[in-house]
Amino acid sequence: MRSFFVDKKFIFTPVGLAISVITIFILIRSLSARNVYEIILSVCALFLLLALGIFGVWKSRKLNSVETGWKTPFPFTANSGEETLITGLDSITIPYFFRLHIIIQGKFFPDANSFTCPVFRETSISRENSIAKLNLDFPMSGVFQGNCFCRLKDVFGFFSFPCGIPQTKTIKVRTAPTFRKDFIVNAQSGAEDRKNKTSDDVEKYYMREYAPGDRFRDINWKSSEKIDALITRISPDNQEKVSRIEIYFRNYGTADSLNSLWLLDRAKARLTQFLRSLKEAQEKYIFCIRSAQGSWEIETLDELDNFFEELAGLSFAPLQNESFNSTLHGDIFIFSTACDLGLSSFLLACQTKQVFLFLIQNPLKKEIKKDDDEIETLYVSDFPEKGCVPSPKWFFQKNIKRLNVSASRIEIMYAETHL
């Protein structure tokens, strides 16, 4: 793997520096020994190095004003395999015996915690290409802070000259999707928020498509037969019901291992799937979400997409002495991990309500049947494959103690890490 810490001012590559030292040593030895053959070879090698160096410095200075475009996919999702595009290379003339190299270097924060993974990705552009594609990907969610810059390198690998204007970006990496079955929510599970319609809206909203929670006696069967869809008849003084879904994302715990970070990542993935599937099934759902870092009220698809972007940057938070104080009257949905040591007491405080718990924890091999449950696995080796340097602590993993909790309904999702 190439060096992860590139000195942007140093022009010699490790190979070029070694060749230069060896050539100078041979020249000095050949002069003292008066070996004409070695003198000619060493002088020719030094002349080639000098010519490449002078020509490279001259050409790289002409490219100092070049500003490339660094376009990452949006949304940026972990393990998506999508490529990052480097544009703005149309006006660049790459000299013979040289190639333009695009380098992305920075730090990746898995699940936005204090652990950092140095990142290095590089690709080269030949004289015929005007667009570069670079595979920048990450094995899990988090935040990446990095720079994109150019180097002009000779084909022999002796020199590397800085050029162009560096670009800096902070990218939030969303969690890779989970492929669990969609959770079916009854329309009566959420709290009802009634909205009165004005007289101006009577004509517009006189009939609409049937939605969960509508009364069967309000269905217009004649119109439904004509268009092969259920149509609900809305009276002028009707109060339309909007369900408010109360959700708790309990990201409490400590980021002391890759195992705990992976559990949090899978909790994010399950929450993302839950919200997206509900919004697709019924657009009028309103999500009231609370986490250790704040709360959100989400009504529209744009607000939901913005929340997913914020969710990628949520990390573990220290356990707090929180009291359950809900202003809504519907069921509540809780997403948590085995790192949440305060989950049992929180569930006890919620016992007056219907509680649906989504829990992410490590599996016990003897309890898992391959046909019934799927274990989502993260490998430490995935990080070097994607240009990230893993923390040495991650090579010594221990399973997190499982939680034994009770709720009205529990869905347990298993996740673990391996080398």
% of the chain at pLDDT higher than 90: 20
Residues 312, 220 share a domain:
no
Q: Residue 203: what pLDDT?
A: 41
Q: For 227-236, b where at least 16 C-beta lie within 10 A, e where not — what string?
A: eeeebbbbee
pLDDT per residue as tens digits for the range 260-276: 999 999 999 999 999 99
Distance CA 404, CA 419 (A): 27
**Is the model's pLDDT at 373 over the cut of 90?**
no
For residues 197 and 316, the model is more confident at 316
For residues 82 and 275, the model is more confident at 275
How confident is the model over 325-332, as a mean pLDDT? 74
DSSP state of 66: -
Q: Supply the CATH number for residue 100's domain.
A: 2.60.40.1930
Reference 132, options 167, 94, 175, 101; nearest CA is: 101
Residues 152, 82 share a domain:
yes
For residues 175 and 11, the model is more confident at 175
| Residue 382 lies inside a defined structural domain of this protein | yes
Structure tokens at 79: 């393990």
Residues 219, 156 share a domain:
no
3-state secondary structure of 398: coil
Of the pLDDT bands very low, low, confident and very high (cuts 50, 70, 90), residue 149 is confident
Phi, psi (5° rounding) for residue 100?
-95, 125
Q: Residue 242: what pLDDT?
A: 60
| Residue 180 lies inside a defined structural domain of this protein | no
**Positive or negative CA dihedral for 8, 9, 14, 19?**
positive
Residues 335, 219 share a domain:
no
Distance CA 267, CA 263 (A): 6
Domain count, the chain: 3
How confident is the model over 53-66, as a mean pLDDT? 85
Residues 339, 305 share a domain:
yes
DSSP H/E element including 217: none
| Residue 118 lies inside a defined structural domain of this protein | yes
How confident is the model over 183-197, as a mean pLDDT? 55
pTM of this prediction?
0.77
Q: Residue 5: what pLDDT?
A: 45
Q: Residue 356: what pLDDT?
A: 92
Structure tokens at 150: 């150019």
The residues, ordered by sequence, that sit 6+ positions from 201 with a Cβ below 8 Å of its Cβ are none
| Residue 182 lies inside a defined structural domain of this protein | no
Q: How far is CA 182 from CA 177, 190, 212, 246, 273, in A?
A: 12, 17, 17, 18, 7
Distance CA 131, CA 147 (A): 18
Would you mind telling me the total number of residues written for the chain in this entry? 419
Q: Residue 184: what pLDDT?
A: 67
| Residue 95 lies inside a defined structural domain of this protein | yes
Residues 232, 246 share a domain:
no
**Is the model's pLDDT at 182 over the cut of 80?**
no
Identify the domain containing residue 211 by its residue range: 198-237
Of the pLDDT bands very low, low, confident and very high (cuts 50, 70, 90), residue 2 is very low
| Residue 105 lies inside a defined structural domain of this protein | yes
Distance CA 183, CA 179 (A): 12
Residues 321, 208 share a domain:
no
pLDDT per residue as tens digits for the range 205-260: 457 777 665 666 677 777 777 777 777 776 554 445 568 889 999 999 888 888 89
DSSP H/E element including 52: helix 36-62
**Positive or negative CA dihedral for 49, 51, 54, 56?**
negative
For residues 49 and 322, the model is more confident at 49
Residues 214, 166 share a domain:
no
For residues 191 and 394, the model is more confident at 394
Q: What DSSP line would sit under 193-210, residue for residue?
A: EEEEPPGGGTTTTSEEE-
Check: CB of residue 412 under 8 Å from CB of residue 371.
Answer: no
Q: Residue 192: what pLDDT?
A: 52
Residues 229, 168 share a domain:
no
Of the pLDDT bands very low, low, confident and very high (cuts 50, 70, 90), residue 73 is confident
| Residue 337 lies inside a defined structural domain of this protein | yes
How confident is the model over 29-38, as a mean pLDDT? 87
Of the pLDDT bands very low, low, confident and very high (cuts 50, 70, 90), residue 113 is confident
Of the pLDDT bands very low, low, confident and very high (cuts 50, 70, 90), residue 98 is confident
Residues 276, 395 share a domain:
yes
Reference 15, options 125, 155, 162; nearest CA is: 155
Phi, psi (5° rounding) for residue 193?
-115, 105
pLDDT per residue as tens digits for the range 153-169: 988 889 989 888 888 89
Residues 399, 302 share a domain:
yes
| Residue 34 lies inside a defined structural domain of this protein | yes
Residues 162, 84 share a domain:
yes
DSSP H/E element including 121: strand 117-125
For residues 180 and 135, the model is more confident at 135
**Is the model's pLDDT at 35 over the cut of 60?**
yes
